[in-house]
Amino acid sequence: MAVDLGRRPSLKDLIDLGVPTAALLAAHRHGLLGATLERSATPDEFARELNLDVVATRLTLNVLATCGVLVHHDSRYAASPELVAWERDAPGGVMVHLRLLEHLPELLVTGKPLIAMDGTLRERASHFTTVASGLGNMYAAAAGELAQAMALEGGAILDLGAGSGVWSLAMAARWPDARVTAVDLPEVIEAVRRNAVALNVGSRVATVAGSYFDIDFPDAAYAVVILGNLLHLETAENAALLVRKAAAALRPDGTFVVIDILGNTASEEYERDPAHAMYALFLASRTSQGRMHSRAQVLGWLESSGLGQVRPLNLPSAPPQLDCLLARGVARPKQ
pLDDT at 131: 83
Q: What is the pLDDT of residues 12-36, one digit of tens each?
A: 888 888 999 999 999 999 999 999 9
Per-residue pLDDT at 266 exceeds 70: no
Q: Cβ–Cβ contacts within 10 Å for residue 116, how many? A: 17
CA geometry: angle 107, 290, 167, nearest 5 deg: 125
Give the span between the Cα atoms of 38 and 44, in whole angstroms: 16
Domain at 121-328, CATH from 3.40.50.12660, 1.20.1260.10, 3.40.50.150, 3.40.50.920: 3.40.50.150
| pLDDT single digits (tens) 30-68 | 999 999 999 999 999 999 999 999 999 999 999 999 999
Q: What is the pTM of this model?
A: 0.88
Short-list 232, 134, 139, 229, CA closest to 191:
134
Model pLDDT, residue 1: 42
Contact 220, 191 (CB under 8 A): no
Alpha helices in 179-235 (DSSP H): 186-198
User: Has domain 11-85 been given CATH number 1.10.10.10?
Assistant: yes
Cα distance between residue 44 and residue 113, in whole Å: 37
Are 150 and 171 spatial neighbours (Cβ–Cβ below 8 Å)? Answer: yes
Q: Calculate the CA 229 to chain-centre distance.
A: 6
Looking at residue 3, its pLDDT comes to 47
Domain ranges of the chain: 11-85, 121-328
